[in-house]
Amino acid sequence: MRIIAHLDMDAFFASLEEAGSPIFKGLPIAVGSDPKNGQGRGVVSTANYKAREYGIHSALPISKAWQLSQIAKVEGKPEVVFLPVDFERYNKAHEEIFEIIKKYSDLVEPASIDEFYFDLSFSKNYKEAKKICFRIKQEIKEELKVTCSVGLGLNKLIAKISAGMKKPDGFLAVPEKDAEKFLELLPIREIPGIGPKTEEKFNKLGIKIVKDLKKFSVEELHKMLGKWGIDLYYKIRGVDDSEIVENKEAKSIGEQITFEQNTLNSIYIGEAFENICKSVFKRFMTSGFKSFRTVGITVRFSDFETKTTAKTLKKPSSSKKEFELETMKLLLPYLDKRKNPKKKLIRLIGAKLEKFKS
DNA sequence: TCTGGGGTCCTAGGACCC
DNA sequence: TCTGGGGTCCTAGGACCC
């Protein structure tokens, strides 16, 4: 029988900032874009638990977060500490956590910068596995001064959901015999892969919790959701055979920027685009891949309409010149009448590389 | 409230080939 | 003369996740 663990860092970016700067201790922190006195674009990446009391959370527009901070100030509460995202620092912490988990399990999958799956099937039982989880939690706390939550279950799905239930600094094991009951009572939105659109779709049919979802046959879910519906049918019955995968290769490398102000100034856009391409290519060069075959761009207009265009080259390439030339050819039509007849201002541009060969 | 940036996976339609 | 079936590749867009 498998025993799978999922470890999820608590308010990761904000916790690391707090741990790194004692003066922030106890203060509300929002890591994300520059609020620029309420004029900033962009969103909150991570808010610590103190900031969440103000109503600030991930993906909240930074301007709104700034307003909430001003309101708090008027009420005599401490203002929010706004900090930029420091990926270098978080990546380093990620590696350190990976190394700690590695000491206890030889099958570890980093699922994102702040999440890991690992295999504890070698443990005699859940009690033994739990002990290991607590040792890992302890070690992370000692070394990095941040907390995490861990879930245990018979597969990745159960492990992930249970890790999320006792945040922060929590632990939950859902043994096999309880798995189906545990799932049945959850709101469908708790199932990873069911987002706002799918939730809405099911809500309209009166489907609220996982138990309601079980009314549908495999065929019905397949029809409604495509291939993923088949997975879902089994997942909600506690069946998830997906493996822990240790080394996942990247499928794409890309970057995009949102301008401070929407623009159609081709000199300005051109310069920004050049910088993006340079940076993307640099990352390609250090990725270890030998070649790419598809190049692509993204353009987002002022009304948020977003266009992507891609071109697959005849032959694999590793040429920076070719990347820059081909993406520029894709971008140019959006700057004039060809693909922008209404002369809409541009809000964001991006470039990416795909179809790698090692 | 006016919406980042980094990704992954899936789908549908068209081109093309045998 | 007016039209099959299977397969693959490519592109654009959508949903989702952190």
Distances (CA, A) of A120 to A127, A182, A246: 11, 21, 14
Mean pLDDT of A239-249: 93
Which residues have C-beta within 8 Å of that of residue A196, sequence separation ≥ 6? Answer: none
pLDDT tens per residue across span A118-142: 999 999 999 999 999 999 999 999 9
Closest nucleotide to residue A194 (Cα to C1')?
A: C16
Q: Which residue is nearest to nucleotide B9 (CA to C1')?
A: A228
Residue A100: the pLDDT is: 98
Q: Verify if strand B has an atom below 7 Å from the CB of A193.
A: no
Residue A332: the pLDDT is: 96
Q: Verify if strand B has an atom below 7 Å from the CB of A252.
A: yes
Closest nucleotide to residue A189 (Cα to C1')?
A: C16
Mean pLDDT taken over chain A? 96
Closest nucleotide to residue A39 (Cα to C1')?
A: B2
Residue A288: the pLDDT is: 95
Max CA-CA distance within chain A?
68
Q: Say which of A109, A115, A324, A326 is annotated catalytic.
A: A115
The type of residue at A8 is D
pLDDT band at A161 (very low <50, low <70, confident <90, very high): very high
Mean pLDDT of A270-281: 97
Distances (CA, A) of A298 to A267, A320, A350: 18, 18, 5
Q: Verify if strand B has an atom below 7 Å from the CB of A78.
A: no
pLDDT tens per residue across span A295-336: 999 999 999 999 999 999 999 999 999 999 999 999 999 999
Chain B: nucleotides under 7 Å from a protein CB?
Answer: 1-12
Through-space separation of residue A234 CA and nucleotide C16 C1' in angstroms: 19
Strand partners, A262: none
Residue A290: the pLDDT is: 96
CB A130 within 8 A of CB A11: no
Distance CA A141, CA A144 (A): 6
The DSSP code for A242 is P
Angle separating helix axes A87-102 and A12-20, nearest 10 degrees: 100
The DSSP code for A249 is P
Through-space separation of residue A177 CA and nucleotide B4 C1' in angstroms: 42
Mean pLDDT of A150-156: 97
Strand partners, A150: A7, A171
DSSP symbols for A64-119: HHHHHHHHHHHTTPPPPEEE---HHHHHHHHHHHHHHHHTT-S-EEEEETTEEEEE
* Binding site as annotated, residues of A: 8, 114
A354 is catalytic: no
For nucleic chain C, give residues with Cβ below 7 angstroms from it: A 59, 111-115, 160, 192-199, 293-294, 296, 306-312, 355
Q: Verify if strand B has an atom below 7 Å from the CB of A61.
A: yes
pLDDT tens per residue across span A198-226: 999 999 999 999 999 999 999 999 999 99
Residue A266: the pLDDT is: 95
Q: Verify if strand B has an atom below 7 Å from the CB of A42.
A: yes
Tokens in use for A21?
């700067």
Q: Which of A220, A242, A237, A234 is nearest to A184 (CA)?
A: A237
Q: Verify if strand B has an atom below 7 Å from the CB of A71.
A: no
Through-space separation of residue A33 CA and nucleotide B4 C1' in angstroms: 8
Through-space separation of residue A329 CA and nucleotide C3 C1' in angstroms: 39
Through-space separation of residue A294 CA and nucleotide C5 C1' in angstroms: 30
Distance CA A282, CA A275 (A): 11
Query: For the sheet containing A115-119, what is the strand order?
Result: A108-112, A115-119, A4-9, A148-153, A171-173
Closest nucleotide to residue A12 (Cα to C1')?
A: C18
CA A104 to chain centroid:
25
Q: Which of A242, A222, A223, A241 is nearest to A232 (CA)?
A: A222
Q: What domains appear along chain A, each with residue ranges and CATH number?
A: 4-13+87-175 (3.30.70.270), 19-83 (3.40.1170.60), 185-235 (1.10.150.20), 252-357 (3.30.1490.100)
Closest nucleotide to residue A229 (Cα to C1')?
A: B10
